């Protein structure tokens, strides 16, 4: 067997380019597989970090001091931190809170604590750039830009006046002001760099216990406790949830005040099945495609080696030795290519992923959290990836090796590749270069088919995925939020505000801020095409089920309306009933929204009567309607109940129900001057909105910027993977072409001897390349695009990345065609070089 190993090595060296090609294919496949595993581990770990706002198990809110004391001494509790949201900042559009947090108890060992939550925000220990937490009533700490936006100097010792509303047991209190001394500075959130409006940022500033006790009486201080129970490691998900519920019950905390950190528990205590499924699917895809391509490469190579195999057999090599020879070659190739691929597949994501995640995290404005370097390496998974790749190479080799071993020496030596046992060929009565090319392709139909299918299927996968990926567009996501408009002006309101009723929607609607005046002001702006309105009213649902969580405050619902021409918007979203507009208009028909969930809980079956009382400013309008259908939320207008526009008119409401205005601009963005016009209008709208504290502006460019990031995170890794699959499949074609040229060296010389010119030779060989390219592209554009449509429908139905419109992947189609074109040009160049390298007489003699 030593001889066989020597022979295998010398063959690998002799067929250097072919060895390099096979090795590259195995290397890339290993890289992809390990890359998927490593990236998945990294993303899962990062998700874990992002999702877990801490490693607490349950957050209990609305706790009194007594309940806190019970918790403090409870045997089940491992860690306990609390936060009191003492007040909400009331300063223009600034979104901020005053909180007092404290780490009460932590029974974990230091090492566990450090490993579990090195920077946990919930321990009450903020990450300071400078300074410390407040100790006295007039001290405050927070992000520097929070203080700057309040008009203060962001430095330790500076004074800042904060207008706020104390957060008592009965909701927000009256606005009051307090001047604090800044004692700690946290990192700023760079709004300009993110390119988003300031109003989207929520600031949290820390105050002291003394301050909280000053502004709130003892009985009104409501604690929100974040609790971690003992023995997480020994418990399953279900068990933990049961223990949490039991704890809440002991304390007398209602279900509404208990928030179980399900995402953390789920992540920690159950295997992440969805993620495992996705990773397993991708890994399987890579393995199957790699096997197919490695198989096609080996198959083609072994066919071209048949004569050599025959010679070996004539010299006495047994079937087993031939099998071992090829398996050794495969092993030697894999022994280098698999570990190299695994190493590259570990290193590339290890370096690239943290940067990508950092880039993603800078947009995570609300949490402002920073990620630690995700844990990405798993030795068992790495070994598994390597084992899978070795197995894949072995399986891909099995059939070609069997063919090689079974071939009889006489057949092998005489072997001329003509299509197996065929004796005759119908043929053509006249010959041309094209026909010569066809004759060559059909001489080994199986080889041609294997190559074509390997390429065609991987191209189909590319086009299929591209169909979905190209349909995930920032434009669509932004359009969905902006209803296809360029700007949205929306009301800033609370659904119900007990202390300041003027904040409640029905009161804000009384001001008619988005009424005719505003609309005509916007319509008068140069470049505005139209202004569209949407809105809803609030209504009290009489006889709402006791203790339900369906409506605001248990009984206040959003009621919207629709026009006759909007009936089709319900489409497939209808869950029950078949509403008719005219009938609904005549009989005060109501569509209950929210699908099955709402239908099961609202106690309003089809045909039942619903009593609503509309809040029209200070007026109340009673309404009795009949439930005629139930539908899921989809493209229909907003509202938990929908009535017809005719019914709505009959209510004769006095307030303006509009909650948002959508502003469409004239012309297309491709027109010259569009951008300038857009900016001008944005400026005017900002000025308009600036006059009214209760309005805010959302613009398309801002939305696009945000959507762009979420799309990029999904799209680019997928394309990188697909590009690699396509790349590997090209190896299959290059190998087939290379074998086709080298194995027919004498034959090509012969053709030249009988008059085939060099131009004709190049044309003939590139014709074979074109056949593979066109064939693979044809498969890709039929099977692949069909797959793309199906995947798109699946994504649409499952709400994946808000895809709503199918976009044909033109850019990807062009890219694939361009790649094929480049490959063709390379083939022509290589063929020309190859032809020139050896003299015609040498080629004719080579087989003799």
* Structure-token pair, residue 571: 């489409």
Among 270, 442, 520, 608, binds another protein (CB under 8 A): 442
Q: Cβ closer to another protein: 16 or 426? A: 426
Q: Cβ closer to another protein: 682 or 763? A: 763
Name the one range near another protein by CB under 8 A: 34-42, 484-492, 674-682, 838-846: 838-846
Among 426, 799, 833, 837, binds another protein (CB under 8 A): 426
Q: Cβ closer to another protein: 364 or 418? A: 418
Q: What angle do CA 103, 109, 112 make, to 5 degrees?
A: 90
Residue 445 near another protein by CB under 8 A: no
Q: Cβ closer to another protein: 548 or 757? A: 757
Among 751, 773, 791, 801, binds another protein (CB under 8 A): 751
Q: Cβ closer to another protein: 457 or 743? A: 743
Cα gap 821→719, rounded to integer Å? 20
**Minimum Å distance from CB 417 to another protein?**
7
How many angstroms separate the Cα of 676 from the Cα of each of 60, 672, 689?
52, 9, 20
Q: What is the size of the binding site for another protein (CB under 8 A)?
A: 42
Residue with tokens 């369906």: 550
Q: Cβ closer to another protein: 274 or 848? A: 848
**Minimum Å distance from CB 778 to another protein?**
23
Cα gap 633→593, rounded to integer Å? 6
Residue 418 near another protein by CB under 8 A: yes
Q: Cβ closer to another protein: 207 or 303? A: 303
**Minimum Å distance from CB 415 to another protein?**
8
Q: Which residues, 6 or more positions from 372, have their beta carbon under 8 angstroms from its beta carbon?
A: 49, 118, 119
* Structure-token pair, residue 559: 């009621």
**Minimum Å distance from CB 432 to another protein?**
5
Residue 424 near another protein by CB under 8 A: yes
Residue 439 near another protein by CB under 8 A: yes
Residue 833 near another protein by CB under 8 A: no
Residue 435 near another protein by CB under 8 A: yes
Which DSSP category does 801 fall into? G
Residue 757 near another protein by CB under 8 A: yes
Name the one range near another protein by CB under 8 A: 182-190, 234-242, 437-445, 707-715: 437-445
Residue with tokens 């505003």: 518
**Minimum Å distance from CB 305 to another protein?**
16
How many angstroms separate the Cα of 319 from the Cα of each of 217, 298, 316, 477, 787?
92, 18, 10, 61, 43
CA neighbours closer than 13 Å in the CB half-sphere of residue 225: 27
Q: Are 779 and 459 in contact (CB under 8 A)?
A: yes
Q: Cβ closer to another protein: 542 or 842? A: 842
* Structure-token pair, residue 534: 């949407």
Residue 446 near another protein by CB under 8 A: no
Question: What residues form DSSP beta bridges with 178?
Answer: 162
Residues 759-818 that bind another protein (CB under 8 A): 759-760
Cα gap 182→180, rounded to integer Å? 6
Name the one range near another protein by CB under 8 A: 183-191, 364-372, 440-448, 797-805: 440-448
Name the one range near another protein by CB under 8 A: 12-20, 315-323, 697-705, 747-755: 747-755
Residue 832 near another protein by CB under 8 A: no
How many angstroms separate the Cα of 675 from the Cα of each of 477, 637, 684, 701?
20, 30, 14, 11
Residue 666 near another protein by CB under 8 A: no
Residue 399 near another protein by CB under 8 A: no
Residue 451 near another protein by CB under 8 A: no
Among 102, 417, 494, 580, binds another protein (CB under 8 A): 417
Among 756, 770, 778, 783, binds another protein (CB under 8 A): 756
Which DSSP category does 543 fall into? T
Among 373, 422, 445, 446, binds another protein (CB under 8 A): 422
Residue with tokens 């080799």: 397
How many angstroms separate the Cα of 74 from the Cα of each of 57, 204, 310?
15, 30, 82
Residue ranges of E strands in 188-308: 202-207, 223-229, 258-260
**Minimum Å distance from CB 451 to another protein?**
16
Name the one range near another protein by CB under 8 A: 409-417, 587-595, 689-697, 784-792: 409-417
Among 110, 170, 233, 416, binds another protein (CB under 8 A): 416
Among 135, 311, 414, 583, binds another protein (CB under 8 A): 414
Residue 753 near another protein by CB under 8 A: yes
Binding mask 558-577 for another protein (x = CB under 8 A): --------------------
Spell 22-47 as b/e; 16+ CB within 10 A means b.
bbbbbbbbbbbbbbbbbbbbbbbbbb
Cα gap 212→660, rounded to integer Å? 37
DSSP reduced 3-state for 702:
helix
Q: Cβ closer to another protein: 307 or 692? A: 307
**Minimum Å distance from CB 322 to another protein?**
22
Cα gap 223→227, rounded to integer Å? 12
DSSP reduced 3-state for 173:
strand
Q: Which residues, 6 or more positions from 34, have their beta carbon under 8 angstroms from its beta carbon?
A: 341, 342, 344, 345, 346, 382, 385, 386
* Structure-token pair, residue 730: 């090209």
Query: What ranges in 691-809 are assigned the alpha helix state H?
Result: 700-743, 745-753, 758-779, 785-797
Which residues here bind another protein, judged by CB under 8 A? Answer: 414, 416-419, 422-433, 435-436, 439-440, 442-443, 746-747, 750-760, 839-841, 844, 847-848
């Amino acid at each position: 067997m030593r001889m066989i190993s020597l022979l295998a090595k010398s063959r690998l060296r002799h067929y250097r380019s072919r060895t390099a090609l096979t090795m590259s294919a195995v290397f890339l496949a290993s890289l992809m597989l390990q890359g998927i595993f490593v990236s998945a581990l990294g993303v899962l770990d990062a998700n874990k970090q992002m999702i877990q706002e801490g490693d607490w198990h349950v957050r209990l809110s609305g706790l009194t001091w007594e309940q806190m004391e019970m918790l403090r001494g409870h045997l089940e509790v491992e860690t306990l931190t609390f936060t009191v949201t003492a007040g909400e900042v009331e300063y223009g559009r600034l979104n901020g809170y005053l909180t007092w947090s404290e780490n009460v108890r932590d029974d974990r060992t230091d090492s566990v604590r450090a490993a579990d939550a090195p920077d946990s925000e919930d321990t009450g220990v903020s990450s300071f750039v400078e300074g410390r937490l407040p100790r006295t009533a007039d001290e405050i700490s927070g992000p520097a830009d929070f203080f700057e936006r309040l008009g203060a100097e962001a430095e330790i010792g500076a004074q800042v006046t904060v207008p706020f509303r104390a957060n008592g047991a009965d909701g927000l209190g009256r606005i009051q002001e307090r001047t604090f001394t800044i004692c700690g500075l946290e990192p700023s959130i760079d709004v300009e760099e993110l390119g988003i409006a300031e109003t989207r940022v929520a600031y949290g500033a820390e105050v002291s216990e003394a301050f909280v006790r000053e502004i709130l009486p003892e009985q009104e201080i409501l604690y929100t406790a974040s609790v971690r129970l003992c023995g997480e490691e020994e418990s399953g998900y279900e068990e933990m949830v049961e223990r949490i519920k039991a704890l809440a019950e002991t304390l007398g905390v209602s279900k509404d005040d208990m928030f179980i950190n399900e995402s953390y528990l789920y992540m920690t205590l159950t295997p992440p099945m969805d993620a495992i499924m996705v990773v397993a699917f991708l890994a399987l895809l890579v393995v199957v495609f790699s096997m197919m391509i490695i198989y096609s490469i080996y198959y083609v190579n072994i066919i071209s080696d048949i004569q050599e195999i025959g010679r070996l057999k004539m010299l006495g090599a047994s079937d087993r030795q031939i099998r071992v020879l090829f398996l050794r070659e495969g092993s030697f190739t894999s022994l280098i290519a698999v570990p190299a691929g695994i190493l590259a597949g570990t290193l590339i994501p290890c370096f690239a992923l943290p940067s990508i995640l950092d880039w993603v995290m800078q947009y995570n404005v609300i949490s402002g959290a920073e990620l630690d370097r995700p844990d990405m390496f798993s030795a068992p998974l790495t070994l598994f990836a390597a084992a899978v790749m070795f197995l894949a190479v072995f399986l891909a080799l099995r059939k070609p090796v069997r063919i090689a071993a079974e071939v009889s020496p006489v057949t092998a030596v005489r072997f001329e590749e003509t299509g197996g046992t065929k004796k005759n060929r119908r043929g053509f009565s006249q010959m041309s270069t094209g026909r010569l090319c066809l004759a060559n392709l059909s001489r080994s139909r199986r080889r041609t088919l294997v190559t074509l299918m390997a390429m065609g299927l991987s191209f189909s996968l590319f086009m299929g995925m591209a169909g979905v990926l190209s349909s995930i567009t920032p434009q669509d996501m932004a359009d969905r939020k902006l209803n296809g408009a360029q700007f949205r002006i929306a009301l800033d309101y609370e659904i119900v505000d007990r202390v300041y009723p003027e904040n409640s929607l029905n009161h804000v609607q009384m001001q008619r801020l988005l009424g005719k005046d505003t609309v005509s002001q916007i319509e008068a702006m140069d470049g505005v095409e139209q202004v569209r309105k949407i809105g809803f009213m609030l209504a009290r649902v009489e006889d709402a089920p006791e203790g339900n969580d369906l409506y605001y405050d248990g009984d206040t619902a959003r009621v919207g309306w629709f026009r006759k021409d909007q009936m089709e918007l319900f489409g497939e979203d209808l869950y029950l009933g078949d509403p008719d507009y005219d009938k609904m208009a005549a009989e005060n028909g109501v569509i209950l929204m929210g699908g099955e969930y709402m239908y099961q809980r609202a106690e309003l079956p089809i045909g039942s009567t619903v009593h609503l009382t509309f809040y029209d400013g200070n007026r109340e309008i009673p309404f009795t309607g009949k439930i005629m259908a139930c539908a899921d939320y989809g493209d229909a207008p907003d509202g938990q109940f929908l009535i017809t526009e005719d019914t709505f008119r009959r209510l004769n409401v006095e307030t303006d129900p509009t909650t948002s205005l959508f502003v469409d601009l004239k012309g297309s963005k491709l027109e010259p001057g569009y951008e300038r016009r857009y900016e001008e209008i944005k400026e005017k709208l900002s000025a308009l909105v600036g006059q009214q504290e209760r309005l805010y502006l959302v613009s398309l460019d801002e939305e696009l910027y945000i959507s762009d990031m979420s799309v990029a995170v999904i799209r680019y890794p997928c394309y990188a993977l697909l590009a690699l699959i396509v790349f590997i499949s090209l190896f299959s074609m290059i190998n087939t072409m290379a074998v086709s040229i080298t194995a027919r060296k004498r034959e090509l010389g012969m053709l030249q001897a009988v008059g085939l010119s060099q131009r004709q030779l190049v044309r003939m060989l590139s014709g074979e390349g074109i056949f593979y390219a066109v064939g693979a592209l044809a498969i890709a554009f039929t099977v692949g695009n069909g797959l793309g449509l199906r995947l798109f429908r699946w994504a649409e139905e499952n709400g994946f990345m808000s895809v709503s419109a199918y976009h044909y992947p033109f850019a990807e189609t062009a890219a694939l065609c361009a790649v094929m074109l480049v490959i063709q040009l390379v083939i022509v160049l290589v063929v020309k070089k190859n032809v020139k390298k050896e003299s015609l007489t040498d080629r004719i003699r080579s087989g003799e």
